[in-house]
Amino acid sequence: MKAKVRILDVYSGRYSVFINEEEARKAKLHPDDLVRIESGKKVAYGSLVVSNLVKPGEVGISRDMLDLHNLSEGESVLVLPGGQPESVRYIKKKMHGEKLRKVEIEAIVRDIVDRKLRDIEISSFVTSLEINGLDMDEIAALTIAMAETGDMLDIDRKPIMDVHSIGGVPGNKTNILVVPIVAAAGLTIPKTSSRAITSAAGTADVVEVFANVSFELDEIKRIVEKVGACLVWGGALNLAPADDITIKSERALSVDPTGLMLASIMSKKYAMGSQYVLIDIPTGKGVKVETVDQARALSRDFIELGKRLGQYVEVAITYGGQPIGHTVGPALEAREALSALQTGKGPGSLIEKATGLAGILLEMGGVAPTGMGKKMAREILESGKAWEKMKEIIEAQGGNPEVKPEEIPIGDKTYTFTASTSGYVTGIDNRGITGIAKAAGAPEDKGAGIELYVKVGEKVKEGDPLFTIHAESEARLDQAIVQARRTEPIRIEGMVLQRIGNI
């Protein structure tokens, strides 16, 4: 059918094409069908919505569809059935547990990016990976396909370093210290980070408190070639775009297939041109990888995948049994991270992890002798060189380099929980802390989160403060208080854990 484009002011989240009910019936098109829109040499795909929002002779285009395709109001187009892509057959093949060939994986990824696959088909692909997995040949093919269907960055400063945490630990603002330490040593480290997926603050959410994080690829190239580093949001770039699409299905299904996670992380490192990559795998109760054995197995996969991509990869298995530092939530974490950079001092867990990871990168990059990286990283932090480099990064990213951590606004609606008994802190529930911070409004409300006053192993007396919830509204604060009372994230016990009588 021929029709004129009408731009609809709606974000469907499904890249929708709207057609009048009468027109759809005539064209034998049905709700959720894949439809193809042709205009000269331009071709776009979308999911059909049958709606009387548009008149006969019109085709409605959602705003998210418009973000992908350059269509104009009133433009004449041809609307055709999209048909079933060949890649659907390959998805079914993986659903039956069969190994996919490189060309089949490339077809799936290309069709995901071109929107030829609908949400239900993408979810089927993600589910098949969760159930049947991928071998290393498939993971390597998926990683390269995900990178090469997007933009690739070529930076003229070498070597290019990178660091990535697989996440799961609340308060993990570590890379905000690692990046300026490594850059201050003369290495190049363009750090792209995600916003929070399941946490209360991703690195990008924290940095956004004091600097811009959304840039075009050419702007990032300019920033990195000038100051040697950046801390930006990867989602604003067209890096491995299939990853951002599959993540939506992973969220909806609450799954994170190992092969897809490896491809997701390493495709973006590959697209950024990273030559030396350090992967941080936090390990402990309440995080993604709970045992050291699991962490070692995953480490071997990262290292092997790096070899296939021509990258040198090392892995740091780190302690993830409790939050890092004393803050959780964007503004609170920004205060803590910037204060540590400014003074060279901070919570032991934050300084220890940041200098440990930075030290490995300094050794990988050849600027520190083996075994001396951590010492050099600490000297760079304590000397103020890391803070000076961070000020350069902030200024290059449009922020105020003279930012004072204590002046960063935090949520002024607060409630403090205190110890109901005396004893020792024997456990802090990572998931519980994250849940409370999110209930308070983090990461969307930048000032929301938690300030922790105790860590595992510390002695407390009845009535001592344990943590303060910060929120930007009373309603959010009330939700967080209810969540905290339900989960009781901090466990306090005496030295006598249990008494069993003579039966």
> What is the set of active-site residues?
256
Q: Which letter, b or e, does each residue of 474-502 get, where b requires 16 or more Cβ atoms within 10 Å of its Cβ?
A: eebbebbbebbeeeebbebeeeeeeeeee
What token pair was written down for 146?
């995900």
3-state SS track over 29-69: CCCCCEEEEEECCEEEEEEEEECCCCCCCEEEECHHHHHHC
CA angle 429, 432, 438 (to 5 degrees): 140
- The DSSP letter of residue 234 is G
Residue 105 neighbours by CB under 8 Å, 6+ apart: 90, 138, 141, 142, 145
Taking alpha carbons only, the member of 419, 410, 423 closest to residue 469 is: 410
Order across the sheet with 276-283: list the strands.
161-165, 276-283, 312-319
Q: Position of tokens 């019109």?
A: 58
Task: Report in angstroms the alpha-carbon separations of 57 from 24, 32, 79, 330.
Answer: 11, 20, 11, 48
Residue 222 neighbours by CB under 8 Å, 6+ apart: none
d(CA 294, CA 299): 9
d(CA 357, CA 373): 9
Taking alpha carbons only, the member of 109, 3, 9 closest to residue 56 is: 3
Cis status of the peptide bond prior to 369, with omega within 30 of 0: no
How large is the C-alpha radius of gyration of the chain?
25
Give the alpha-carbon dihedral of 95, 107, 254, 490, to 10 degrees.
130
Asked if residue 239 lies in contact with residue 247, where contact means CB atoms within 8 angstroms, the answer is no
Taking alpha carbons only, the member of 111, 148, 107 closest to residue 239 is: 148
Q: Which amino acid is at 127?
A: T
| Helix or strand run (H / E) with residue 300 | helix 292-309
- The DSSP letter of residue 421 is S
Q: Which amino acid is at 61?
A: I
Beta-strand ranges (E) seen in 142-212 are 161-165, 189-193
Handedness of CA 177, 178, 181, 183 (dihedral sign): negative
What token pair was written down for 160?
């290019």
What token pair was written down for 418?
């205190």
